[in-house]
Structure formats: structure tokens, C-alpha cells
Amino acid sequence: MAALIHKTLNANEPAPNLMDYRAMRATFSWDIACTERAGLPHGGLNIAFEAVDRWVASGQGEVAALRWLGKNGERRDISYTELARLSNRFAHSLEQLGIGPGDRVCVLAGRIPELYITALGTLKAGAVFCPLFSAFGPEPVRVRLVKSQARVLVTTTLLYQRKIREQRNNLPDLEHILLTDSDGSEPGTHSFHTLLETGPDHRSPPRTQPEDWALLHFTSGTTGTPKGAIHVHQAVVAHQLTGRWVLDLRPGDIYWCTADPGWVTGVSYGIIAPLVNGATLVVDEAEFDARRWYAILGRERVNVWYTAPTAIRMLMKAGTEATQGHDLSALRFMASVGEPLNPEAVTWSLATLGRPFHDTWWQTETGAIMITNYRTLDIRPGSMGQPLPGIEAAIVRRRPGGGVDRLEPGEEGELALRAGWPSMFRSYLDDAERYQQCFADGWYLSGDLAICDIDGYFWFVGRNDDVIKTSGHLIGPFEVENVLMEHPAVAEAGMIGKPDEFAGQIVKAFVALKPSYVPSDALRKELLGFARTRLGPAVAPRELEFMPDLPKTRSGKIMRRLLRARELGLPLGDVSTLESENPEEPDA
Ligand code: 6R9
């Protein structure tokens, strides 16, 4: 185990927002935190109002809310006042289109200002914001648009032409497509900016209540189509508190979250938490590039930086040289999420950047950070840290007949959280049964395996299901298998996450061919290309191996755990000791 990193507070820096973790844990109550949230002037609660308009009302409207860095070198500041106006206009545009409370508004775009205006305007209109990752191919986009029953999609002309246009007839719920760069030549679409111009700058405060639906985030499980996790406006209480206590945000901070808003981190911490805490949010449109990143950290004087282990590993690879010439002295706090943060990354960051990365653990379903390393507390590199005040975490084992048993410190089991915090998902869209299956005896069961040590630090072990985390993105194997099965040569397909030095895992496909086809390099390339065109580069398998047939249960389900064991070179004896690994088992 890497040595403990002891914290000494730097006298030149502001004191941490959460000074005494233990005292706060002992006294904290979500009920009080919810009551303290100022809320709307007439009662109720609205995430966008908390994020933007409250700062305008308190006289801080001229502060930059968003600092957009375009991929071609553009730099544009949008103040809180301007963001309030633009989101009011967008809320008005939605109303003009007949969109109202509960309606889903999807966005499929890169990190462009229009995405942020859409998110906030949608919330102000009482509608539900649902981001779609722009690197998804046409198939994941279609599945999510159908499942969300989106009535509006905001996107760019290029993404529309590549991913939507051909399948528009199969999307009956999708009434309006708003193009952010429309030149009027795409039939059946509106211009986002023309609509925006018609709306008034001001509107009366939204009428939403704390339990009204606000956000819809798709996430993946082992089986079935993606699950739509629903979050309500009350979640903002957790976004605000975790922003303040965990990320140590305060008004005036320059903050950079590198996660894409197509995923939950890029919304909870790439839009809501920083704005609710009055920070200036840096948005970089470009893709990862070590030198560009260090230049942004230095030039923009970033104080708080939230990123992911894959990016950190790439920075480590780029070496210390890449940091040269960049003054990183403004950095006060750095955190990571999405995958296990290896201890070497923590010690590397301390040595190279002068600050350690703080691991944070949470999920789409939890809506906000639940377990973390705090600015005041010593870090145990490799550990995810300790639960947030107000969060009770435990390691449990499911009893076969239902219910759970709590395990002792040091025992491996499933990470569970006592249900009932504000940003806990309220449902899976149209799938109450799957939602219920996530709970037992008042605990939310995360699907992650972990250990809690004697001092209350949690250590990640792995997943107890087959989902794949690649570059921090959660991929459902079933979604990928389904697409490969559409190819005429494929009889069976099974996906696993193969360990990868940089991406954590990559998606690897195992394929059994139909009798009239023979394995070849050309066919492998064709299948990989087929999957990539439909699924997009973020989801498609990177490797593909042919097998005469795939290991299955008696009822015909592909046993991905056996494929994984084979890939990792585990001896068969080991395989049979793993859960559901035994091919003799009737079903998995
Ligand atoms: C926010 C987000 C959730 C899954 C989660 C776990 C993995 C997240 C982690 C971590 C190890 C951490 N995960 N944080 N694993 N250490 N600090 O990533 O949400 O996309 O829903 O993924 O990611 O397996 O269950 P989501």
C-alpha cells in the first residue's frame, strides 16, 4: 500500500469549506440542508434558478459563469446575467413549441455553449433534460431517443445528418429538431438561434417543486436496453453541498471539469455544482491533449480541477516535460472520478503537480459524490475515501431469499448506501421493477464490490456484474452484442472489458460465426468497422476474437465471466470458484 499522504494546510490558501469532517458527520441532516436551500421566491425548487438566477439576484451577475474555449482557439465568457437571459429565452422557445413540465428534451452535441443554454432553459421550463453523448453512433442515439420519448432534440447539422436524419421516421415522438448551426437547408428542422432570438430576456421564476423530474441520465446494466435514471430538482441540494465540501468550491473560483456533459459527471459537476457554488466553469471544446490541458490549467488560473483516471494516466505518460512553462500554482484542489484511481497516480500528482488527486466515488444513480477523500483529511492512496456527511455506507451481502447482511470491516461484499439522500435517482424510466431490484432492507445496492477497512475507508474491488468501464464511460455489453448480432456472419457474440493500461478497460468482442463463414483478418476488420459505424467509437469493440462457439448456460445465455477468465488466463479451477462461473449451473 502506498504511504499515507498527510495533509498540512497551506496558510496562503483559504481554509477548506469542510474543516471538521467528523463533527459534521455527527450533526448533519439532509432535512435541515433541504430547508436551508433558499429555493424559489414563491416556494418550490428549480436547479437552473439555483445555479444561475440566484447569483444575478444577489448582485453577482457580471461574474463569468462559463468560460468557453473553442477547439480553434476561440475564447468566450458568458456571465451569469447573460446565461440567465439566454436560458430564459430558451425556456420561452420550448413553451412556444408546446413543450412543458415532464417533457423530455435531449441534446446531442459536443461541448458548445448551446448545450449549457439548453440544459438550463429546459430545467426552467419544467421539462426534463437528457444528454446524449456526441460520440455515440446512430444506434445508441436511436435507442435512447425512443426510450426517453424525447419531443425535442438539440443538435448540430453534422450530427443530425450523420446520426438522426436517416432514422427520423422511426422516431415518432420526436417532434422538433433544433440545429445550433442551422443554415435553413435541412427540411423539418428549426434554427436554435432564430428561436432564441424571438424569446424575452426575462420570465417569472419557474414553478417546479423539489420532487419534480429534472434530469434523465441513461446508464447501462448487464442485460436489456439502457436504463433511464431519473433525478429530481431536489438533487441540487446534494450538488451544492458536494461542490462546497468535496470539491471545495467557492464563489470566484475558476473550475474545470473535464467530463463530457453526455455523461452524468459532466452534468452534475460540469454544469450544476460549480454554478450553484458561484464558480466560473471552464469548458474546453477540444479533445484530450496533454500540452493543451496544462496550458489551460496555467493560463486560466484554474483553482479546482475534476478529471478522470484515464486522463491522469495519459498525463503521466506525457511526462513531466509537458508541464514545463505552465504555472500551475493557482491549483488548490484536484479530484478524480469514474474508475479506480491507482495509488501511483496519486503519488505522481503530488510529486509532479504539487497536489494529490482526491478520489471520489459515485454513480449515475447516486446523482452526486457519495464517498471521497476530503481536502482536510489524510489520503490513503488507492482508497475511495469516506462517505459524505449524511451518507451511511456499508458493505453487505445479499441473502438468497431477499434482504441483506452487513459484513465486517475487511470483508469483501457489495457497496450499499442507506436510501434517501436528495440526489438519489427516483426511478428508472418505465422500469419500476428494475428500480425495486436496486433496494433491499432500506439500502441502495450499488453493484460495486468493495471493502471497508477498520477506520472506515472504502476500497474498490470491482463490479459484481458485466458492465464495462472504458475511458470512464460505462458500456452495457448487451447493447454492443445486439449490434454485432445484426451482421449476417455472426451467430453469437459476447463482450467483456479487457484490462488496458490507459483506458482502464477496452471493449473486447468474442464472436462465433455462422456455419458458412470462416474466420479471417478481413472479416475481423469488417465486423469491427460494422460495429463502429453503428455504435460510434466510444462504444464499439476495439478487439475481436473468433471462437468456434461461446460458453453458455443451459438456457443459452452467454457466460461473459468465462470469456473474461479465459482472456485473463485464469485456470479453469479458479473459474469454477467464481460466482455463476460453473458451466454446469442451470442458469446465471
Ligand atoms: C460518476 C460515474 C459508475 C461506476 C461505479 C464504479 C465506477 C466510479 C469510481 C469507480 C472506482 C471510483 N466508479 N467512480 N470505480 N473508483 N472512484 O462514473 O457514474 O458512469 O454511472 O459509473 O463507475 O463501478 O459503479 P457511472
pLDDT digits (tens, 9 = 90+) for 82-138: 999 999 999 999 999 999 999 999 999 999 999 999 999 999 999 999 999 999 999
Distance CA 540, CA 528 (A): 7
Would the pLDDT of 474 be above 80? yes
Atom of ligand 1 nearest to the CA of 473: 20
Among 375, 303, 383, 350, smallest CA distance to 8 is for 375
Task: Categorise residue 192: left if φ over 0, alpha if ψ from -120 to 50, beta otherwise.
Answer: alpha
More confident residue, 415 or 586: 415
Please give the pLDDT value at position 37.
79
Please give the pLDDT value at position 8.
79
Atom 5 in ligand 1: residue holding the nearest Cα? 363
Task: Categorise residue 425: left if φ over 0, alpha if ψ from -120 to 50, beta otherwise.
Answer: beta
204 C-alpha to ligand 1 centroid (Å): 38
Q: What is the largest CA-CA distance in the chain?
A: 73
191 C-alpha to ligand 1 centroid (Å): 37
Rounded mean pLDDT, 320-331: 96
Site to probe by mutation for ligand 1, drawn from 227, 337, 372, 464 as the one with most ligand atoms within 8 Å of Cβ, is: 337
Among 214, 58, 198, 195, smallest CA distance to 125 is for 214
Read off the C-alpha cell for 342.
Answer: 491507482
Q: Specify the 3-state DSSP secondary structure of 216.
A: strand
Read off the C-alpha cell for 573.
Answer: 479451477
Q: Specify the 3-state DSSP secondary structure of 473.
A: strand
**Distance separating the N- and C-terminal Cα atoms of the chain:** 35
Atom of ligand 1 nearest to the CA of 472: 18
542 C-alpha to ligand 1 centroid (Å): 21
Please give the pLDDT value at position 559.
92
Q: What is the pLDDT of residues 165-175, one digit of tens each?
A: 999 999 999 99
Q: What is the pLDDT of residues 213-255, one digit of tens each?
A: 999 999 998 888 899 999 999 999 999 999 999 999 999 999 9
77 C-alpha to ligand 1 centroid (Å): 31
Among 9, 8, 2, smallest CA distance to 348 is for 2
363 C-alpha to ligand 1 centroid (Å): 5
**Number of residues that make up the chain:** 588
Would the pLDDT of 576 be above 60? no
| Banded pLDDT at 41 (limits 50, 70, 90) | confident
**Which residue type does 70 have?**
G
The DSSP-derived string for 362-400 is --TTT-S--EE--SSSPB-TT--BEEPTT--EEEEEE-T
High-pLDDT (> 90) share of the chain, %: 90
Q: How many other β-carbons are positioned within 10 Å of the β-carbon of residue 108?
A: 25
Among 115, 106, 128, smallest CA distance to 177 is for 106
Q: Provide the Cα torsion 481, 483, 484, 487; round to 10°.
A: 150
Name the β-bridge partners of 76: 68
Please give the pLDDT value at position 537.
94
| Banded pLDDT at 2 (limits 50, 70, 90) | confident
183 C-alpha to ligand 1 centroid (Å): 40
Site to probe by mutation for ligand 1, drawn from 247, 362, 373, 444 as the one with most ligand atoms within 8 Å of Cβ, is: 362
Residues with CB under 6 A from ligand 1: 219, 263-265, 337-341, 359-364, 384, 446-448, 460, 463, 469, 474
Distance CA 433, CA 223 (A): 14
In the DSSP assignment, the letter for residue 166 is G
Q: What is the pLDDT of residues 524-542, one digit of tens each?
A: 999 999 999 999 999 999 9
Q: What is the pLDDT of residues 254-282, one digit of tens each?
A: 999 999 999 999 999 999 999 999 999 99
**pTM of the complete model:** 0.95
Atom of ligand 1 nearest to the CA of 446: 25
Please give the pLDDT value at position 571.
65
Rounded mean pLDDT, 562-588: 59
Atom 18 in ligand 1: residue holding the nearest Cα? 338
240 C-alpha to ligand 1 centroid (Å): 20
334 C-alpha to ligand 1 centroid (Å): 17
Please give the pLDDT value at position 385.
98
Please give the pLDDT value at position 1.
63
Please give the pLDDT value at position 575.
47
Among 135, 69, 78, 472, smallest CA distance to 292 is for 69
Name the β-bridge partners of 492: 512
Would the pLDDT of 577 be above 70? no
Q: List phi, psi (to 5°) of 461.
A: -115, -45
- For 306, 349, 414, the CA distances from 358, given in Å and listed in that order, are 9, 10, 22
Would the pLDDT of 336 be above 80? yes
Please give the pLDDT value at position 555.
85
Atom of ligand 1 nearest to the CA of 371: 17
The DSSP-derived string for 235-293 is GHHHHHHHHHHTS---TT-EEEE-S-TTSHHHHIIIIIHHHHTTPEEEEE-S---HHHH
Q: What is the pLDDT of residues 500-519, one digit of tens each?
A: 999 999 999 999 999 999 99
Q: What is the mean pLDDT of the chain?
A: 94
Would the pLDDT of 9 be above 90? no
Q: How many other β-carbons are positioned within 10 Å of the β-carbon of residue 455?
A: 9
180 C-alpha to ligand 1 centroid (Å): 32
Beta carbons of 152 and 124 less than 8 angstroms apart: no
Please give the pLDDT value at position 381.
96
Distance CA 437, CA 433 (A): 6
Helix axes 138-148 and 521-535, enclosed angle (nearest 10): 40
High-pLDDT (> 70) share of the chain, %: 97
Please give the pLDDT value at position 585.
40
Q: What is the pLDDT of residues 369-415, one digit of tens each?
A: 999 999 999 999 999 999 999 999 999 999 999 999 999 999 999 99
**Which residue type does 100 have?**
G
Distance CA 585, CA 188 (A): 53
Would the pLDDT of 573 be above 60? no
Among 238, 262, 256, 338, smallest CA distance to 292 is for 256
Ordered structural domains, the chain, with CATH: 21-451 (3.40.50.12780), 468-568 (3.30.300.30)
